């Protein structure tokens, strides 16, 4: 069953998700050569607790940190460590929080200094795919329209979509129904209804789509060693269309595309 949130519940989800957006925006500014992913994790934990929320990932199925930090060929679920970011890296930063019974969840991939054209294209196409997917979030559209929009855009650019991990409903649980694959035929699956809240999270590889999980039991990497990017927004289905609950004020690409949320 897909849970629909009341206006009061949506208001609480806005709070949770805007905490995530603020933390990610701070991480975006911090990600520079010499900074470790453990530094970033400590910042997440401090900021989340200071805002009255709890980190959602720490302790989730035994996950050991507040942040997922996935560098270069790491796809998702990278565990923060003393590894220093270096110029030319790309790093995916995924943050979740719980506050007053509701979850927020969002991710982005940032460039560390100057990056290659290949990496820059990967980041641009993955974020564009997320925005195109969000544009499908309307009352009456189908869950598979979201993944179809991602796959279409990504494959047209010669990149590939990761299939082992999916987006998800979100609310009083981090992962609710429905599962939201980032590929597929349009017009399939449940219809979207007012009050549903979806975490849409395309993961895109420069090379082939296959991934494997390292011996740490968490870190997913591309099998062919190619670069991977991940962007995620939590989005509410409203009568007026998609409301991006995790929109950042620094989200320039989205602003340029005309899909910015009201300033918060
Ligand atoms: N954004 C990811 C998800 O929703 C993060 C989960 S990481 C975990 O699935 F550590 F919590 F598992
Ligand atoms: Co998620």
pLDDT digits (tens, 9 = 90+) for 4-16: 999 999 999 999 9
pLDDT exceeds 70 at position 147: yes
**Mutation choice for ligand 1 from 16, 20, 44, 60, CB with most ligand atoms inside 8 A:** 60
> pLDDT tens for residues 121-142?
999 999 999 999 999 999 999 9
Name the residue among 143, 132, 106, 131 with its Cα closest to residue 234. Answer: 106
Q: Is there an atom of ligand 1 within 6 Å of 136 CB? A: no
Q: Is there an atom of ligand 1 within 6 Å of 138 CB? A: no
Phi, psi of 138 (to 5 degrees): -135, 155
Going by the DSSP 8-state scheme, the letter that residue 72 receives in this structure is: T
Q: Is there an atom of ligand 1 within 6 Å of 49 CB? A: no
185: how many CB neighbours lie within 10 A of its CB?
12
The model's confidence at residue 32, banded by pLDDT at 50, 70 and 90, is very high
pLDDT exceeds 80 at position 257: no
Cα of 57 vs centre of ligand 1, distance in Å, is 6
What pLDDT is attached to residue 251? 81
The model's confidence at residue 250, banded by pLDDT at 50, 70 and 90, is confident
Structural fold of domain 7-257: Creatine Amidinohydrolase (3.90.230)
Residue with tokens 């975490």: 199
What pLDDT is attached to residue 30? 98
Return mean pLDDT, the chain.
Answer: 96
Q: Is there an atom of ligand 1 within 6 Å of 183 CB? A: no
Neighbouring-strand partners of residue 105? 96
3-state SS, residue 179:
strand
What pLDDT is attached to residue 127? 98
What is the reported pTM? 0.95
Who surrounds ion ligand 2 at CB < 5 A? 105, 199
What pLDDT is attached to residue 264? 41
> b/e per residue, 218-255, with b = 16+ CB within 10 A?
bbbbbeeebbbbbbbbbbbbbeeebbbbbbbeebeebe
Position in ligand 1 atom list of the atom nearest CA 57: 11
Q: Is there an atom of ligand 1 within 6 Å of 103 CB? A: no
The mean per-residue pLDDT over the stretch 166-190 comes to 98
Half-sphere exposure of 1 (CA within 13 A, CB side): 3
Q: Is there an atom of ligand 1 within 6 Å of 45 CB? A: no
CA distance 204 to 73: 11
The mean per-residue pLDDT over the stretch 157-176 comes to 98
Residue spans per domain, the chain? 7-257
> pLDDT tens for residues 201-243?
999 999 999 999 999 999 999 999 999 999 999 999 999 999 9
Cα of 226 vs centre of ligand 2, distance in Å, is 22
3-state SS, residue 17:
helix
What pLDDT is attached to residue 17? 98
Going by alpha carbons, the residue nearest to atom 11 of ligand 1 is: 57
Cα of 174 vs centre of ligand 1, distance in Å, is 8
User: Where do the DSSP E strands lie in the chain?
Assistant: 54-55, 67-71, 74-76, 90-99, 102-111, 160-161, 167-169, 176-180, 197-200, 203-205, 211-213, 220-222, 228-230, 233-238, 241-244
113: how many CB neighbours lie within 10 A of its CB?
12
Q: Is there an atom of ligand 1 within 6 Å of 94 CB? A: yes
């Amino acid at each position: 069953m897909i849970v629909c949130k009341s206006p009061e519940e949506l208001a609480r989800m806005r709070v949770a998700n805007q905490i995530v957006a603020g933390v990610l925006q701070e991480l975006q500014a911090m990600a520079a050569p010499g900074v470790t992913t453990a530094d970033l994790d400590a910042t997440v934990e401090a900021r989340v607790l200071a805002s009255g929320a709890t980190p959602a990932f720490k302790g989730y199925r035994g996950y050991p940190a507040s942040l997922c930090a996935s560098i270069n060929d790491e796809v998702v679920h990278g565990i923060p460590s003393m590894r220093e970011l270096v110029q030319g890296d790309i790093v995916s930063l995924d943050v979740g929080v719980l506050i007053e019974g509701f979850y927020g969840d969002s991710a982005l991939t940032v460039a560390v200094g100057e990056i290659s054209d290949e990496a820059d294209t990967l980041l641009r196409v993955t974020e564009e795919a997320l925005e195109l997917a969000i544009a499908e979030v309307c009352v009456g559209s189908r869950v598979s329209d979201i993944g179809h929009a991602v796959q279409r855009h990504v494959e047209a650019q010669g990149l590939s979509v990761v299939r082992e991990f999916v987006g998800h409903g979100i609310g009083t649980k981090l992962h609710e129904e429905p599962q939201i694959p980032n590929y597929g035929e349009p017009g399939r699956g449940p219809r979207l209804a007012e009050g549903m809240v979806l975490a849409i999270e395309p993961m895109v590889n420069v090379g082939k789509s296959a991934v494997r999980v390292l011996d740490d039991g968490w870190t997913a990497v591309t099998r062919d060693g190619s670069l991977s990017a991940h962007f995620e927004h939590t989005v509410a289905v409203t009568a007026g269309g998609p409301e991006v609950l995790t929109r950042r004020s620094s989200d320039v690409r989205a602003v340029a595309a005309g899909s910015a949320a009201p300033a918060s």
